[in-house]
Structure 1
Amino acid sequence: MATIDDFIHEPRVAYFSMEIALRNEIPTYAGGLGVLAGDTLRSAADLEIPLVAVTLASTAGYFRQMIDAEGRQTEQTDPWEPSQWAVSLDAIVAVTIEGRRVWIGGWLYVLGGHMNGTQPVVLLDTDLEQNGADDRAITRQLYGGDEAYRLRQEVVLGIGGIRMLQALGFQLRQYHMNEGHSALLALELLRRYAHPTEEVRAGESPYDIPRVRELCCFTTHTPVEAGHDKFGYDLVQRVLGDYIDPLTLRHLAGAEDLNMTRLALNLSEYVNGVARRHAEVSRHMFPGYHVHAVTNGVHPFTWTSVPFRKLFDARLPGWCHEPELLMRAECCIPDESVLMAHEEAKQRLIDEVNTRSGISLSVDCFTLGFARRMTAYKRPDLLFSDLERLQEIARRHPIQIVLAGKAHPKDASGKQLIETLHNHIRELGSVIPVAYLPDYDMATALALVSGVDVWLNTPLRPMEASGTSGMKAAFNGVPHVSVLDGWWIEGCIEGITGWAIGDDASSANGNDAGHLYQKLEQTILPLYYEDRAGWTAIMKGAIAKCASYFNSQRMMRRYASEAYVR
């Protein structure tokens, strides 16, 4: 079994993320941010880009979702045992939180890529006998507790993470912050690179800010102001004490509150958004900063179903390492082979739906899929805006629907959306069978994106930073229908890779339901039922033009050449 000694012989980029989807059995992720982090590391392993990841052990997981017959979500803890998957670290380090010394241990998880490469992942854990009960709980619940709990977690992640890597003997050439949760690592670097007191002139910063900026890069994922972590300075003073010069902190992180995104922006030489439109939105939100665009991607092997893996292996060998080979799908893969692979994946989804929900679906019926975090801006109820019209459409061309997604435990409106969807399921009755699969995870996601016929996405513009579920669908020959936001602005070629709902103007949000019904009724369903060759061409277009580009191999090559080598 690999040990830390196998990874400290060469300089590495330290990749910090509050959540990372390591595998389906390890619930250290809540959604898209964590899945992206996992795909980042898997591609880094494939490409042998030397990273070391730092995250929290989150031993109680995010939560297991239970949904009753009325559609009411309840939550249970989702514990996992690190010793079953990881090796205990020899080092422990300490941070000061609210005047107390909090000890941090951890675990080494070795993530393997598809091409036999590996990446070390350090899972920080405060559940140690040296700590009191409250401090032992800091790394238990992902995104749990109150604002003070969240700040304690971010102290452990950012400050504790830097100290742990140093204690383990890692040589670090750079630090990559995946979202602002880990931005306190930059404060730890400021303290490390502080000027000697006798060299600091009056009015000057005691810290070598340019040096820290050279070491840091930052990826922002949130185009909504409310989504950026902010902490009042009273709380910051209580938790951090005199850890950093307060004037410097306010200068770097904001005068009113400690804004973690602002802190990361000011202490990173390279900053990027996760799609071209998202970079534009971020530049508008934070004027004066140079925000690059590195559009997200998904890991080819992880998000391709077994039937399509076999097909690509036979027809386009090497596709996992060089997904650009998939550009040849239109000419090198027979239509019948694509249809057969999809039918096998679809049958697997139908079997899972039947087992988990008792709802009987047909492999011959057009199947629409929608699954993501259940929150208002994702508009999961848009499809059901006019039930009568939806039923009229389905009477001409049969439709069945599969849904999934969790609402954050504290998101009351998100939970209400799940109830509303279940009400719609009952109202649609036998005209449109609808299944809602509870406890959405990576395994369910793969079954859905590979087994449905079309993948649906309906966020309010411009609130979708990127979105990656439609990219996963593309690897399985499943076309996308979505509003033009996030990655779909770049990926949509109308009638070739999928279809757009409305245009890319934010003012069009109000009529999106009408556009969606029109597209289903007049274009998508007639093509599916009446033009098999035309439909297969779009399936192959999704593979050749989307999967070949929107993958994490391309994404990591961009990070390596633009962010890590400067």
Structure 2
Amino acid sequence: MMSPIDPFLPRTRIAYFSMEVALRPEMHTYSGGLGVLAGDTARSCADLELPVVFVTLASREGYLRQEIDAEGRQVDHADPWEPADWATPLDAMVAVRIEGRPVWVRPWLRVLTCPIGREIPILLLDTRLEHNDAADRAITDRLYGGDDVYRLKQEIVLGIGGERLLHALGFEIETYHLNEGHAALLAAALLRRHPRPPGRPANGGLRYDDDRVRERCVFTTHTPVEAGHDRFDYADVARLLGDFIEIDQLKLLAGADRLNMTRLALYLSGYVNGVARRHAETARQMFPGYAIRAVTNGVHVPTWTHPALARLFQTVAPDWGHDPEALAVADQLPDEALWAAHQEAKAGLLAEVERLTGVAMRPDLPLLTFARRMTGYKRPDLLFADVERLRAISRGQPFQVVMAGKAHPRDDGGKALIHALSGHMRRLADEIPMAFLPNYDMALAKLLVAGADVWLNTPLPPYEASGTSGMKAALNGVLNLSVLDGWWIEGCIEGVTGWAIGRDRDGGDHAGALYDKLEGTVLPLYHGDLGRWIWMMKESISKIAARFNSQRMMRRYAAEAYLR
């Protein structure tokens, strides 16, 4: 009997491993930007018919369903979903040994089909099986849940279990793409199959042929924040992995003090890249001695385009969905039609704001939106650094604010930011319409990136790796107002595609620069010269959507990383 995986076996030669992949809002297999990028990558692989299989975790309990209580504090809930509703179980299992016990891993298959019928397989790894010890069944349940030991178990299942499962299913993989360091143990699994040939001296004490592994591994690092790189105590590694690979060998590859998953992936990958030009510079400073290239992220344009904009794009570039570069002609869109489409998208967002929060907002006032993961370096509170000045600006040039974002369950600082933002909004409610929307996910993101007028982004440089939400906004004609970091250094043409907050590498007063730009440039333009505003919307679409898309990104990976 034919297995549903069989049609993919003859042609698939590349495996993309990611702890999270955002496929649809109902499948809670993602937490934020990393997973959304992986989902857009999968969609473009299907569009371009690239021979890729994706491997991730089932995450049955999701990441986090966010509630905002009456005091404005985040309340964390599990966010369960049922894999059987969206994926097909495969009749295959493999075991990895964790703490001396066999832990069985079964895959679910989700087939992603693009509009022209091309398909990509996505495997979701699941340990909730009766064959497993009760304690092991929950390993793949909660995305980024638990302590370091729980995380290490997940990364063993993803990297070692995922690689074994591909082999067991019959895939003949030539290239493995590690999306962040979570899957770095996959490279260690490949390494242990290649002992250094007799007669060849050990490389600095390494008894394996690491060059054979580098030929097959591609690594994309995403975070310039030290806390974002997973590190594990070698005592835990030895206890969980046993004799899978010698600890003295791991220390040569991944650091003497703790197992650094990023360093392990760096050492064993022949192609390494950051996710924007500036991020690659920062990564080279963090990890000197490694050749770290830059492939700037992109977004899947059809997924993130509002239906009203999509209908409009069809009139000037019929092939825009498959070939987003065709949107270079979007500067020819009729002003009235573009503004009408934007107002339709804005009305949808404002209706959702009122439904979720009870706050009624006006369609004729500019809407500033901030929607990111809530954590310190993203600085979501920068807009409120000088509340009296914010009040003064709003009295002369009224505006509205919508914010959204989740804090990691263990990020007390991020949760404190959400509470502080809620307090600011309550105190300013009579003067500036404001709302914080709970449970930021793919569905809400689609409304936000299409319905905003200004997309606000205020990271502390150089900690923004890329920042794809601004790209999604731009392709809908939303204008970016952002600190110069991540992708925006490449995408910003001042007064054309949006505006910069401060200067590049200035390290100055970003709050003051934000207020100056709002008061002196952004709000006067919206209130006083709508024609110029619409012109900028068209420039944003034509210059950003045509370039910062996942089709371009995946063509670069295919040509530069996969076909080395």
- TM-score, length-normalised on structure 2? 0.98
Map of 1:497 onto structure 2: 497
Map of 2:136 onto structure 1: 135
Map of 2:447 onto structure 1: 447
Map of 2:562 onto structure 1: 564
The CA distance in 2 between the partners of 1:435 and 1:416, in whole Å, is 17
Matches within 5 A, 1:477-516: 477-505=477-505, 507-508=507-508, 511-516=509-514
The CA distance in 1 between the partners of 2:24 and 2:113, in whole Å, is 11
Matches within 5 A, 1:335-346: 335-346=335-346
Map of 1:361 onto structure 2: 361
Map of 1:80 onto structure 2: 81
Q: Is the 8 A contact 1:400 1:433 kept in 2?
A: yes
The CA distance in 1 between the partners of 2:12 and 2:112, in whole Å, is 18
Is residue 524 of structure 1 aligned with residue 522 of structure 2?
yes
Q: Is the 8 A contact 1:124 1:157 kept in 2?
A: yes
Letter in 2 for 1:499: W
Please list every run of 5 or more consecutive structure 1 residues that lacks an aligned counterpart in the other structure: none
Report the Cα offset of residue 193 of structure 1. Answer: 2.5
The CA distance in 1 between the partners of 2:555 and 2:226, in whole Å, is 30
Map of 1:251 onto structure 2: 252
Map of 1:390 onto structure 2: 390
Q: Is the 8 A contact 1:42 1:114 kept in 2?
A: no
Report the Cα offset of residue 326 of structure 1. Answer: 1.0
Letter in 1 for 2:555: R
Is residue 16 of structure 1 aligned with residue 14 of structure 2?
no
User: CA offsets per residue over residues 135-194 of structure 1, 9 Å max, x none?
Assistant: 000000000000000000000000000000000001111000000000000011012233
Q: Is the 8 A contact 1:319 1:326 kept in 2?
A: yes
The CA distance in 1 between the partners of 2:533 and 2:269, in whole Å, is 46
Map of 1:109 onto structure 2: 110
Report the Cα offset of residue 552 of structure 1. Answer: 0.4
Letter in 1 for 2:85: Q
Map of 1:554 onto structure 2: 552
Q: Is the 8 A contact 1:45 1:119 kept in 2?
A: yes
Map of 2:434 onto structure 1: 434
Matches within 5 A, 1:129-208: 129-195=130-196, 205-208=206-209
Letter in 2 for 1:564: Y
Of residues 199-208 and 216-225 in structure 1, the stretch that sits farther from structure 2 once superposed is 199-208
Alpha-carbon spacing, 1:202–1:469, altered in 2? closer, same or farther (3 Å):
closer
Alpha-carbon spacing, 1:201–1:532, altered in 2? closer, same or farther (3 Å):
closer
**2:43 partner SS:** helix
Matches within 5 A, 1:302-313: 302-313=303-314
Of residues 101-110 and 244-253 in structure 1, the stretch that sits farther from structure 2 once superposed is 244-253
The CA distance in 2 between the partners of 1:309 and 1:494, in whole Å, is 26
The CA distance in 1 between the partners of 2:344 and 2:494, in whole Å, is 27
Matches within 5 A, 1:276-291: 276-291=277-292
The CA distance in 1 between the partners of 2:13 and 2:81, in whole Å, is 28
User: CA offsets per residue over residues 56-79 of structure 1, 9 Å max, x none?
Assistant: 000000011011121111111111
Q: Is the 8 A contact 1:45 1:115 kept in 2?
A: no
Map of 1:121 onto structure 2: 122
Letter in 2 for 1:233: Y
The CA distance in 1 between the partners of 2:491 and 2:158, in whole Å, is 35
Map of 1:299 onto structure 2: 300
Is residue 471 of structure 1 aligned with residue 471 of structure 2?
yes
Report the Cα offset of residue 199 of structure 1. Answer: 6.1
Report the Cα offset of residue 23 of structure 1. Answer: 0.6
Map of 1:50 onto structure 2: 51
The CA distance in 2 between the partners of 1:312 and 1:401, in whole Å, is 28
Report the Cα offset of residue 2 of structure 1. Answer: 8.3
Q: Is the 8 A contact 2:374 2:417 kept in 1?
A: yes
Map of 1:28 onto structure 2: 29
Give the count of matched residue pairs.
562
User: CA offsets per residue over residues 425-456 of structure 1, 9 Å max, x none?
Assistant: 01112210101110000010010110010000
Letter in 1 for 2:462: P
The CA distance in 2 between the partners of 1:200 and 1:516, in whole Å, is 60
The CA distance in 2 between the partners of 1:507 and 1:353, in whole Å, is 35
The CA distance in 2 between the partners of 1:498 and 1:312, in whole Å, is 20
**1:495 partner SS:** coil
Of residues 202-211 and 376-385 in structure 1, the stretch that sits farther from structure 2 once superposed is 202-211
Map of 1:374 onto structure 2: 374
Alpha-carbon spacing, 1:107–1:199, altered in 2? closer, same or farther (3 Å):
farther
The CA distance in 2 between the partners of 1:538 and 1:255, in whole Å, is 52
Please list every run of 5 or more consecutive structure 2 residues that lacks an aligned counterpart in the other structure: none
User: CA offsets per residue over residues 259-288 of structure 1, 9 Å max, x none?
Assistant: 000000000000000000000000000001
**2:176 partner SS:** strand
Q: Is the 8 A contact 2:206 2:252 kept in 1?
A: no
Report the Cα offset of residue 202 of structure 1. Answer: 7.0
Report the Cα offset of residue 321 of structure 1. Answer: 1.4
Q: Is the 8 A contact 1:462 1:506 kept in 2?
A: no
User: CA offsets per residue over residues 409-437 of structure 1, 9 Å max, x none?
Assistant: 11111001001001000111221010111
The CA distance in 1 between the partners of 2:70 and 2:499, in whole Å, is 34
The CA distance in 2 between the partners of 1:458 and 1:322, in whole Å, is 31
Is residue 219 of structure 1 aligned with residue 217 of structure 2?
no
Q: Is the 8 A contact 2:196 2:202 kept in 1?
A: no
User: CA offsets per residue over residues 519-551 of structure 1, 9 Å max, x none?
Assistant: 011100110011011101110111011111011
Letter in 2 for 1:63: L
Q: Is the 8 A contact 1:2 1:110 kept in 2?
A: no
Alpha-carbon spacing, 1:241–1:199, altered in 2? closer, same or farther (3 Å):
farther
The CA distance in 1 between the partners of 2:113 and 2:418, in whole Å, is 36
The CA distance in 1 between the partners of 2:137 and 2:233, in whole Å, is 24
**2:136 partner SS:** helix
| RMSD of Structure 2 on Structure 1 (CA) | 1.3
Q: Is the 8 A contact 2:65 2:439 kept in 1?
A: yes
Map of 2:62 onto structure 1: 61
**1:499 partner SS:** strand
**1:107 partner SS:** strand
The CA distance in 2 between the partners of 1:9 and 1:217, in whole Å, is 22
Letter in 1 for 2:422: H
User: CA offsets per residue over residues 77-105 of structure 1, 9 Å max, x none?
Assistant: 11111111111011100001111111111
User: CA offsets per residue over residues 90-140 of structure 1, 9 Å max, x none?
Assistant: 110000111111111120011122332211011000111111111000000
The CA distance in 1 between the partners of 2:434 and 2:206, in whole Å, is 60
**2:320 partner SS:** coil
The CA distance in 2 between the partners of 1:501 and 1:411, in whole Å, is 27
Report the Cα offset of residue 507 of structure 1. Answer: 2.0
Letter in 2 for 1:424: H
Letter in 2 for 1:265: L
Letter in 1 for 2:452: V
Report the Cα offset of residue 195 of structure 1. Answer: 4.7
Is residue 543 of structure 1 aligned with residue 541 of structure 2?
yes
**1:272 partner SS:** strand
Map of 1:533 onto structure 2: 531
